[in-house]
Amino acid sequence: MSAQIIDGKAVAAAQRDRIAAEVADLTAAGVQPGLAAVLVGDDPASHVYVGMKEKDCAAVGMRSLGARLPSDVTQETLHAEIDRLNEDPQVHGIIVQMPLPDHLDEVAAQDRIAPEKDVDGLHPHSQGQLMRGVPTYVPATPLGCQVLLEHYDIPLSGANVVIVGRSTLVGRPLAMLLSRKGVDATVTCCHSRTKDLAAHTRGADIVIMAVGVARMLTADMVREGAVVIDVGITRGEDGKLVGDVDFDGVAEVAGWITPVPGGVGPMTRAMLLENTLRAARTQSGQPSS
């Protein structure tokens, strides 16, 4: 293997330590950051994700307030619950765990969250501010990718970045984040209709995969020395997590590479805490340390 490993687990641990220290200071000043997760129904994966978020909050000293609603809840009751959390001064960040049951409107629920508590960064206000180049809350996964790249001093200004995937959650906000003034990457956003994907990825200094197709980026699609960030997660038949990158092959060619697990995933979890911390600071008027 020639590539150096981008160790998301270690960077996320350092981020959590910093966040925990800041949470302790803020709590001592009378403001304990609080995150509320709205969980609807009995989807086992959603319960696992919310459980992880609660554990992450506890580990850095944040308060977590779960709101559990039955799977047959109406849109009106869901909105009333979000309104209640919007009004609760102990809650600084609100997330609605997706997916919601089919009868509910996910976008309407996201739009109901007060913009200043939108720590998932999915409200039109957050996405609009990012589009304007003055982000408020950036979705945790794109933010985690940027922090990882900066941690390893990977040059972004003028770099050719190819992002494969254009979702509202990952690909598009990441394109906005890296192409804005001050970061200055030249970004190409590819998707399922892109012609000759390999021609794009081969021309990239940095390839970021956010698709959800196991091992689709192979060594012949990457130029020598490129940086490869793997956001994708698929569960293999053996139950193990697999990324969008054929790790063993690509690591022979790339200069830097993230593993799966242990790359972007831990950063996503840490950046939700970072957004909640920032939300608590902003809402309480406490300047950042």
**Residue ranges for the binding site?**
165-167, 233
Whichever of 43 and 184 has its CB closer to ligand NDP, that residue is 43
Indicate whether 8 belongs to the interface with ligand NDP (CB under 6 A): no
Q: Which stretch binds ligand NDP (CB under 6 A): 34-42, 51-59, 217-225, 261-269?
A: 261-269
Query: Which of residues 69 and 213 has its CB atom nearest to ligand NDP in the complex?
Result: 213
Sheet holding 160-164, edge to edge: 4-5, 256-257, 227-230, 206-209, 160-164, 186-190
Binding ligand NDP (rule: CB under 6 A), the pick from 33, 121, 135, 232 is 232
97 among known catalytic residues: yes
53 is catalytic: yes
- Catalytic, 120? Answer yes
Choose which of 210, 226, 242, 257 interacts with ligand NDP (CB under 6 A).
210
Burial of 45 (0-12, 13-18, 19+ CB in 10 A): exposed
Residue choice 37, 39, 148, 164 for contact with ligand NDP (CB under 6 A): 164
In the block, residue with structure tokens 């490993």:
5
Backbone phi, then psi, for 84, in 5-degree steps? -60, -45
Give me the amino acid identity at 108. A
CA dist 188 and 190 (Å) reads 6
Catalytic residue among 15, 97, 129, 146: 97
Q: If we measure between CA atoms, which residue out of 198, 184, 235, 269 comes closest to residue 11?
A: 269
Query: What positions carry a catalytic annotation?
Result: 53, 97, 120
Instruction: Return residues touching ligand NDP (CB under 6 A).
Output: 141, 164-167, 169-171, 190-194, 197, 210-213, 231-234, 264-265, 268
